[in-house]
């Protein structure tokens, strides 16, 4: 059963999940390249307004996270993601057509609203198809859509902006999501019971294994009880601090590199891709060993600590030693991304299925607040101080706090 089901599930579902989340991340992260590639000048966007626009996405993401996740958990993740693909592709494409800042404000906020449920919905979807011994790896292949997309998007966006301008970059990178929506609808089922490509015996065996795992988890009455849990509250704070570092890095790395001597947008694209190559390697290795020994927290907090040290090292090195600072940023990027698979596996392994979806959404919504803070405050500090030093200290402190909160949150949990 393990050989047959595992092979068919991985081949059938993981590429689909990966492509879907990749497209979501493409339309989220290319804003940083447009900012570095002339959008600010064309639309007369000030440094403060640019920081706000870069972070507005996460406000929309925060407010609609939980309703979307509850719909995915109780109704249909398949239907929710289908419409989300169409809407976020349309909004991303529309970004290339606007002519004033007011329209850009609306589009960035609405893009966050539309994409808000994608991450928790996909995690809920995967938890219905993969067992405890597979979950960290399955989550990692999903979230790999983040660094893999930024890796190739960084190079592609640099060339698109140079050859066609930032408007065509948005248009050409937004259309694939709309097209992919119809592939998604055709290829996936919400539950294993609905899949025609599994036999009755395979469906029964998988359902039995997932049910057995739920029996080992302490019951939680309802969402209110789960949301009041000390562990969930601490994980919310942890993920918010972690996301400050991640999205301060993602949104402003192109500008940091573009400010280097003799840099241009194509060079920026190539160099911006390098940290995400390390991120891919570290995520795959971390998820493999986490699933192999079924330990989670030891694959989370040490990497966050390394990320904090690397950011602080970039501050100490200073702007006059660009290449040393850049190597430290590569290390920070790889370390920040490494723990995603084990982290989201923790949630589904300490909370029962009736509340896990809502808890994932709540934690992810606090991550959105952290992302808002990271994207906005890093940009604000860059503009206010005229350098990136204050940003490095801010991101280092946030990751250090995230590492400490991880240890506190799950210290009495066998994860």
pLDDT in tens, 69-111: 888 888 898 999 999 999 999 998 998 888 888 888 898 889 8
Contacts of 338 (CB under 8 A, 6+ apart): 279, 282, 283, 285, 286, 299, 303
Contact, 234 vs 406, CB < 8 A? Answer: no
The pLDDT tens digits for 381-402 are 877 777 777 888 888 999 999 9
C-beta neighbour count of 327 within 10 angstroms: 17
pLDDT value of residue 54: 66
Grade residue 1 by pLDDT with cuts at 50, 70 and 90. very low
Query: Model-level pTM?
Result: 0.75
Q: How far apart are CA 267 and CA 263, in angstroms?
A: 6
- Spatial contact of 113 and 60, defined as CB atoms under 8 Å apart: yes
Residue-wise pLDDT tens digits, 314-359: 888 876 777 888 899 899 999 999 999 889 888 878 777 677 778 8
Do the beta carbons of residue 120 and residue 68 sit within 8 Å?
yes
Structure-block tokens of residue 188: 């996936």
Sequence-ordered list of residues with C-beta below 8 angstroms from that of 387, at least 6 positions apart, any chain? 319
Confidence at 13, pLDDT banded by 50, 70, 90: very high
Q: What is the mean pLDDT of the chain?
A: 84
Write out pLDDT tens, residues 111-138. 888 888 788 888 889 988 998 888 888 8
pLDDT, position 185: 94
Question: Residue 280 above 60 pLDDT?
Answer: yes
Question: Mind listing the pLDDT tens digit for each residue in 179-206?
Answer: 999 999 999 999 888 888 888 888 888 8
Q: Is the dihedral of CA 161, 167, 172, 177 positive or negative?
A: positive
pLDDT digit string, tens, across residues 27-48: 766 777 787 778 878 888 776 6
- Is the predicted pLDDT of residue 269 greater than 60, yes or no? yes
Eight-class DSSP state of 299:
G
pLDDT confidence of residue 2: 52
Torsion of Cα atoms, 341 then 342 then 347 then 349, to 10°: 120
Per-residue pLDDT for 3 more than 60? Answer: no
pLDDT, tens digit, 9 for 90 and up, residues 47-68: 667 767 767 777 887 878 888 8
Q: What is the pLDDT of residues 284-307, one digit of tens each?
A: 999 889 888 878 889 999 999 999
Could you read off the pLDDT of 202-236 as tens digits, one per residue?
888 888 888 887 776 676 667 777 788 888 899 99
Q: Cα separation of 199 and 59, whole Å?
A: 44
Rounded average pLDDT over 15-24? 90
Q: What is the mean pLDDT of residues 5-15?
A: 84
pLDDT higher than 60, residue 175? yes
């Amino acid at each position: 059963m393990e050989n047959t089901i595992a092979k068919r599930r991985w081949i059938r579902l993981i590429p689909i999940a990966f492509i879907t989340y990749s497209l979501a991340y493409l339309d989220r992260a290319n804003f940083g390249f447009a900012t570095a590639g002339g959008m600010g000048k064309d639309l007369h966007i000030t440094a403060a307004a640019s920081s706000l626009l870069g972070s507005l996405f996460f406000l929309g993401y925060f407010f609609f996270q939980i309703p979307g996740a509850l719909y995915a958990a109780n109704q249909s993740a398949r239907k929710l993601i289908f419409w989300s693909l169409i809407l976020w592709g349309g909004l991303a494409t529309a970004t290339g057509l606007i002519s004033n800042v007011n329209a850009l404000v609306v589009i960035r906020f609405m893009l966050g609203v539309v994409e808000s449920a994608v991450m928790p919905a996909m995690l809920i979807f995967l938890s219905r198809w993969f067992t405890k011994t597979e979950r960290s790896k399955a989550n990692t292949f999903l979230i790999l859509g983040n660094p893999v997309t930024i890796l190739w998007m960084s190079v592609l966006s640099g060339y698109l902006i140079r050859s066609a301008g930032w408007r065509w970059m948005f248009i050409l990178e937004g259309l694939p999501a709309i097209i992919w929506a119809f592939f998604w609808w055709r290829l996936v089922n919400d539950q294993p019971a609905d899949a025609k490509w599994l036999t009755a015996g395979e469906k029964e065996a998988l359902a039995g294994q997932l049910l057995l795992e739920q029996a080992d988890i302490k019951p939680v009455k309802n969402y209110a009880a789960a949301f009041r849990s000390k562990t969930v509250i601490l994980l919310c704070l942890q993920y918010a601090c972690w996301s400050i570092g991640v999205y301060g890095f993602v949104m402003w790395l192109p500008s940091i590199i573009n400010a280097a001597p003799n840099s241009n947008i194509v060079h920026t694209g190539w160099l911006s891709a390098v940290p995400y190559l390390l991120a891919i390697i570290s995520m795959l290795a971390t998820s493999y060993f986490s699933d192999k020994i079924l330990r989670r927290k030891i694959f989370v907090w040490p990497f966050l600590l390394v990320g904090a040290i690397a950011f602080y090292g970039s501050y100490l090195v200073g702007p006059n030693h660009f290449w040393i600072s850049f190597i430290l940023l590569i290390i920070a990027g790889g370390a920040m991304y490494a723990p995603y698979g084990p982290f989201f596996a923790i949630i589904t392994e300490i909370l029962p299925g009736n509340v896990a979806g809502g808890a994932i959404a709540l934690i992810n919504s606090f991550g959105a607040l952290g992302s808002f803070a990271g994207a906005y405050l890093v940009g604000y500090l860059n503009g206010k101080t005229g350098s990136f030093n204050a940003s490095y200290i801010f991101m280092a402190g946030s990751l250090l706090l995230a590492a400490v909160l991880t240890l506190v949150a799950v210290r009495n949990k066998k994860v």
